[in-house]
Each structure stands twice: as C-alpha cells, then as structure tokens.
DNA sequence: GCCAAATTGATCCATATGGAACAATGTTGG
DNA sequence: CCAACATTGTTCCATATGGATCAATTTGGC
C-alpha cells in the first residue's frame, strides 16, 4: 500500500476534518519547531509569547493564554526565559500588584524580526497549494471555527 | 482590551493563517487531549495509532508515521503501550524480520469504538460554526495543504 | 558470498510539559 | 474592617517528548 492510499483513506472517514487539521499541524510542527528550537534555542511557545508581547506592549501573561491556548505554567516559563535572555522586560502593574506588564526590548524586537521573516516564508511554503482566493476562503472558514463558541468550551468533554 | 480585540488583531497580521490554524489545534488539544488522557489513561498518540491500526490491519509502525507525522520513538512507545494493554497484537513479518505487522484485538476495537464516538461528537462541536457546504470547502482546502509537497519537506527550514 | 550501507524499531537521556499545590494580591459581602 | 473567596503568576513533581544511539535485519555492490 502506497503513502497516497493510506492518506486517501484516513481522509475519507468520519473523522476526516479532525484528521486533516491534525495532519497539517503535526506536519508543520515537525519542520518548524525543530528549526526554531535549533536556531534560537527556545521552545516555540517562547517565540509565540514574544510575538504577542511585541504586538501588544504591556500585555499581561494571562492575556497571552487567550492568544495561544496553553496551560498557565507554560506561559510563565516562556516569559521567564524571555526575561532571562533580555528579550522582554516586566514591570509590576500599578493598578494590580499581581499583574506584570510585559514589553519587548530592542534585542527582543530584533530577534523577533528574524523569526517573523522565517515564519512568513515558511507559511508561504505550506500555503503554496492554494490560490489567493482559496487562501482567503480557507482563512475565513478557519477563523469561524477558531472564534466559535465550542472550541475551548466543550459540552461533550465535560467531566 | 477585550479578548475579541486581541484575537482580531492577531488574526489580522502577516501570519494570520499560521495563527488561526495554531489556535484551532491548541484550543482543541486543550479540551480533547486532557479528556482522553483522563478517561483512557493514554496519550493521544496511542489512540491515534490504534485508530490507524484498526483501519489498516497489518499496518507497520513506520506507516503510522505517514498518517500521524511524529518522531519514530513516539510511535514505538505508543505501540508498546497498546500491546501491553492487550489492545493490539504484533507479529513479525514473514517477508522482513525487522517489521512487525500490527492488528487490533477485540478489546482494542471495543475501546476504539468508544473513542471514535467521542471524537465524532467533539468534531461536530467545533465544526458547528460551519454550514455543510462550508465544511466541505474547508476540508477540500485543508486537504490540498496537507497533501501539498511543502508541508513535510521545507526549503526554507533547511539547515 | 561478503562486507558496507540502509532500514526498521527499541532504548537512553536530557529537557519539556502540564496538573496540582502554592504564594501574593485583590475583591466582596456583611 | 475583616474574613472568605477570587485572581494572577510561580513552583513542584511525575510523566511525556524527541534527538541520538543502538541492535537486528535486509539490501546492494563487487
């Protein structure tokens, strides 16, 4: 049985949507995570956090979770790493002593520019099979799923 | 800044396709992996492997990697776990003494039926925002990305 | 037929991960 | 004002992960 047959059949079952989305992400991770971890010596979540912090200066750790749904301690560690490397600064919020407002440093922004450049070229690579119109449609539909009410809140998985 | 604003803006940048797909998968994993690990006491990769083995009786470990792109030792461990729990059997291939052909047992199939039922209902949940036509379009486009030439093989990430 | 290289899968080990408990701070209800 | 509760972020610890190495087997070149 050839590779194509295997994929064809797993993309034909009841769980085809789950299978195809998982395949895209596992496949991309295999390439991207390894590259980023090798080149920048940091887990991918650290660069995600840096990306978010640069986009929203003064961001709080809990808000990073809204952008990248990960356990809370994963974010905490990523922020520690970025701080330890001088890529961000933290300052305790005036309004609430528990919160720390996060800001990218110049060094952080410089590193980020490099990472974004890679990610943009990598994204272009896996989007190659889609025309500009198809990309627009794909993004539109994916966005509907992402912002739908049941992605993070499940009735089915209630324990 | 509200949650919506944060998501709106991160889904508006150059990396919006990457961001939205990552968001869907991280969000779904947060719900699904925890449920499966709690209920069945196994990593999600073990159930993925069981799913593949049942669909393709006599499957080899290396072929599971084609369906679920993961490191080789992850598959090896998942197969060991399934074997230890009596959910699959392994028999050494006649043609090639290195290969082991994998088969689901009755117990494996019974457990799988339960897991598939959950996954189907969970998939239905996160697909809720899409109409039947939109689901078809989404799957069609995602499939093009998944089977494209650059998902697993990258020029950009070459080291 | 034989030896080098390739392939398949298991194991080792350092690091990442995530649930749970914790500490610090803020909020609420009486 | 104060005690209970909620929120924010850190730490602990058991387990998962993945690159590297290894063992067993097969393939290919001569």
At residue B47, what are phi and psi to the nearest 5 degrees?
Answer: -70, -35
What is the gyration radius of the CA atoms in chain A, in angstroms?
A: 19
To 5 degrees, how large is the angle CA B87–CA B43–CA B31? 125
| pLDDT for res A35 | 92
| pLDDT for res A159 | 62
Contact B141, A130 (CB under 8 A): yes
Provide residues 51-110 of A with CB closer than 7 Å to any strand C atom. Answer: 70-74, 77, 96-98
The tally of domains found in chain B comes to 1
Q: How does the average pLDDT of chain A come out, rounded?
A: 93
| pLDDT for res A157 | 87
Question: Residues with Cβ < 8 Å from B81, sequence gap 6 or more?
Answer: B42, B43, B46
Domain presence at residue A159? no
Domain presence at residue A154? no
| pLDDT for res A5 | 83
CA of B78 to C1' of C10 (A): 12
Question: What's the rounded Cα separation, in Å, for the pair B67 and A19?
Answer: 9
- Residues of chain B under the 70 pLDDT cut: 1-4, 159
Question: Residues with Cβ < 8 Å from B1, sequence gap 6 or more?
Answer: A56, A63
| pLDDT for res A4 | 61
| pLDDT for res A7 | 93
Domain presence at residue B93? yes
Domain presence at residue A64? yes
| pLDDT for res B54 | 96
CA distances from A12 to A6, A17, B13, B88 (A): 10, 9, 33, 23
CA of A99 to C1' of C30 (A): 29
Domain presence at residue A117? yes
Measured between beta carbons, the chain A residues lying within 8 angstroms of B132 are none
Q: Among candidates A112, A96, A134, which has minimal Cα distance to A49?
A: A112
Residue with tokens 């006491």: B41
A138 to B70: CB separation less than 8 angstroms, yes or no: no
User: pTM of the prediction?
Assistant: 0.91
| pLDDT for res B69 | 93
Side-chain half-sphere CA neighbours of B19 within 13 A = 25
Question: What's the rounded Cα separation, in Å, for the pair B98 and B60?
Answer: 10
Measured between beta carbons, the chain B residues lying within 8 angstroms of A135 are 17
- Mean pLDDT score, A143-148: 95
Which bases along strand C come within 7 Å of a protein CB atom?
7-12, 16-21, 24-27
How many Cβ pairs within 8 Å bridge chains A and B?
218
B148 to A128: CB separation less than 8 angstroms, yes or no: yes
**Distance in Å, alpha carbon of A128 to nearest chain B alpha carbon:** 8
Residue A57's domain comprises 3-145
Domain presence at residue B99? yes
Question: What's the rounded Cα separation, in Å, for the pair B107 and B85?
Answer: 9
| pLDDT for res B2 | 56
Q: Are strands B100-104 and B88-92 parallel, antiparallel or unpaired?
A: antiparallel
End-to-end CA distance of chain A: 40
- Mean pLDDT score, A41-54: 94
DSSP chain A: --HHHHHHHHTSSTTHHHHHHHHHHHHHHHHHHHHHHHHHSS-HHHHHHHHHHHHSTTB-HHHHHHHS---HHHHHHHHHHHHHTTSEEEEE-SS-TT-EEEEE-HHHHHHHHHHHHHHHHHHHHHHTTS-HHHHHHHHHHHHHHHTSTTTTS-STT--
Whether A1 has a pLDDT exceeding 60, the answer reads no
Domain presence at residue A7? yes
Q: Which nucleotide is the nearest neighbour of A70, by CA and C1'? A: C18
Q: Domain with A109 in it: what CATH number?
A: 1.10.10.10
Question: What's the rounded Cα separation, in Å, for the pair A77 and A61?
Answer: 10
Domain presence at residue B154? no
A156 to B118: CB separation less than 8 angstroms, yes or no: yes
Contact A88, A105 (CB under 8 A): yes
| pLDDT for res A2 | 56
Per the structure block, which two tokens stand in for B30?
């947060």
Interface residues for strand D (CB within 7 Å) are A 29, 33-34, 60-62, 72-73, 76-77, 79-80, 96, 98-100; B 43-45, 70-74, 77, 96-98
Question: What's the rounded Cα separation, in Å, for the pair B88 and B52?
Answer: 11
| pLDDT for res B79 | 96
Question: What's the rounded Cα separation, in Å, for the pair B15 and A27?
Answer: 17
pLDDT tens for each residue of B108-141:
999 999 999 999 999 999 999 999 999 999 999 9
Residue with tokens 């929203």: A56
| pLDDT for res B93 | 83
């Amino acid at each position: 049985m050839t590779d194509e047959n295997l994929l064809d059949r797993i993309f034909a079952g009841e769980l085809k949507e789950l299978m195809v989305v998982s395949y895209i992400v596992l496949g991309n991770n295999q390439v991207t995570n390894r590259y980023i971890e090798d080149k920048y010596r940091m887990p991918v979540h650290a660069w995600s956090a840096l990306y978010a912090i640069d986009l929203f200066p003064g961001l709080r750790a809990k808000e990073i979770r809204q952008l990248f749904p990960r356990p809370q301690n994963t974010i905490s560690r990523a922020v520690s790493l970025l701080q330890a490397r001088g890529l961000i600064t933290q300052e305790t919020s005036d309004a609430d002593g528990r919160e720390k407002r996060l800001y990218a440093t110049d060094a952080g922004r410089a590193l980020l520019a490099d990472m974004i450049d890679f990610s943009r070229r990598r994204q272009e690579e896996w989007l190659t099979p889609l025309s500009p119109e198809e990309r627009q449609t794909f993004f539109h539909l994916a966005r509907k799923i992402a912002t739908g009410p049941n992605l993070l809140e499940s009735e089915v998985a209630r324990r």
